[in-house]
Amino acid sequence: MARKTINIDYLARVEGEGGVKIIFEDRKVRDVELRIFEPPRFFEAFLRGRAYTEAPDITARICGICPVAYQMSAVHAMEDALGVTVSEPVRELRRLLYCGEWIESHVLHMYMLHAPDFLGYAGAVEMAKDHGDVVRQGLELKKIGNEILELLGGRAIHPVNVRVGGFYRTPTRRELRPLAENLKRARDIALATVRFVAGFDFPDCERDYEFVSLGAAGEYPFNAGHVVSNKGLDIAPQQYEAHFEESHVKRSNALHSHLKGRPYLTGPIARYSLNSTLLSPAARDAAKEAGLGPTCNNPFRSIVVRAVEVLYACDEALRIIDAYQEPDRPHLDLTPRAGVGCACTEAPRGMLYHRYRLDDQGTIVEAKIVPPTSQNQPSIEDDLKHFAGDWLDMPEEALRVRCEQTVRNHDPCISCATHFLTLEVVRG
């Protein structure tokens, strides 16, 4: 019985500390273990006993790459608990903030972490020696994402201007104008990026995923809508825990998540496959030109979908800035009350779920956060189970790189995902 093991102790070019072990037997994949050994971070416990007003600033600290999704999920959940809805201009500004985060995060992943896989380099530094113009283009594009976050959020990482009920300060139309100029240039680069990544060689790997994302909101999803899937799921975020279940597996400090016992996938190709008709016309055209159909079942093409989403984010940001009307008040004045609030929003790497229970003073009694990487772990393992058997004839190093790339397809953010606490009780 021929047995072969590929052991990647430390995954490179992913956020956080994890590894992968793949065991082949008789030319088939017998087992895959995505191991996440980044230490747990206990954010849900940190939140207990804190005021509801503190949640945006605490949860933003969960991730340096996608702080907006964390703090925005928190504010939406708090507003759900308090029974309030923000004004349309505030909602639009929140979408603008998401545009900034998606541009920042997707561009970092595409250009610095994922493109080297397709172009045959160990990393972005090696790639930059031969493709300096490409790297410069990526840096310029990422910069506009940073600018949006700095203007709206107060700074590019861990924004401080977001609060439950709105913003501490909202920008004037005049303040947004320079962003629009830079976004027009970014839009051109984003289109060039779609064309650039569409030219990569993609392994012929498709799977019948159960895609899950926000949808049914009449807009490409950032922070509104139902939780939908391509297999018939259509629920309000408040029903999330009746359908999705987290469980602990020994190999991971991040909880695995299943939908009624089934693995599922969140993230760019899920969002795209469930909402591609809602992209801006230019993004839809670019996707078509890049060879994408209305859905995408090849995870290696996720880099193309990210590029399309960056183009959409530029278009959407320009639309929001053009239509922006300064709100009468930057935020609602809120009165705390006891209650439970839930929200799902779309982080760049997938859907994020928050639930909070507040007491009558607005103190957080219970918090639950389900990050996208936690949800995608079973599907990442299943990708390797499905695909890697066909790669056994590859040279050893190429096989290792291909397996790592298969994980990187989903841009896992391991640091975000690790919040599980193993509690061992020894009774004497």
Partner 1 sequence: MAERLVVGIGNPDRGDDAVGRLVARALRGRVPADVRVVEQDGEATALLAELQSARNVWLIDAARSGAPAGTIRRIDCSVADAALPDGGVSSHGFGVAEAIGLARALGVLPGRCIVYAVEAAEFTVGAEPSQAVAVAVQEVVRRLLAEFPCHCEERSDAAIPSRLARQA
Residues lying near partner 1 in the complex (CB under 8 A) are found at 12-15, 39, 41-42, 61, 64-65, 108, 112-113, 123-125, 128-129, 132, 135-136, 139, 142-143, 146, 156-157
Nearer to partner 1, 229 or 373 (CB): 373
Nearer to partner 1, 89 or 100 (CB): 100
Nearer to partner 1, 48 or 136 (CB): 136
Half-sphere exposure (Cβ direction) of 76: Cα atoms closer than 13 Å: 24
Nearer to partner 1, 136 or 177 (CB): 136
Nearer to partner 1, 146 or 295 (CB): 146
Supply the minimum distance, in Å, between the C-beta of residue 418 and partner 1: 10
Supply the minimum distance, in Å, between the C-beta of residue 12 and partner 1: 6
Supply the minimum distance, in Å, between the C-beta of residue 154 and partner 1: 15
DSSP string spanning 243-259?
A: HEEEE--TTBSS-EEEE
Supply the minimum distance, in Å, between the C-beta of residue 235 and partner 1: 33
Supply the minimum distance, in Å, between the C-beta of residue 218 and partner 1: 34
Partners of 31 in the beta sheet? Answer: 23
- Closest listed residue to residue 170, CA positions, set 369, 320, 303: 320
Residues with Cβ within 8 Å of residue 221, at least 6 apart in sequence = 213, 214, 215, 271, 275, 278, 346
- Closest listed residue to residue 344, CA positions, set 30, 80, 130: 80
Supply the minimum distance, in Å, between the C-beta of residue 68 and partner 1: 15
Supply the minimum distance, in Å, between the C-beta of residue 66 and partner 1: 11
Parallel, antiparallel, or unpaired for β 212-215 and 226-229?
A: antiparallel
Alpha-carbon dihedral 187, 193, 196, 199, rounded to 10 degrees: -100
Nearer to partner 1, 121 or 200 (CB): 121
- Closest listed residue to residue 332, CA positions, set 154, 40, 85: 85
Name residue 65's amino acid: I
Residues with Cβ within 8 Å of residue 308, at least 6 apart in sequence = 194, 272, 279, 283, 286, 287, 290, 292
Partners of 157 in the beta sheet? Answer: none
Nearer to partner 1, 139 or 278 (CB): 139
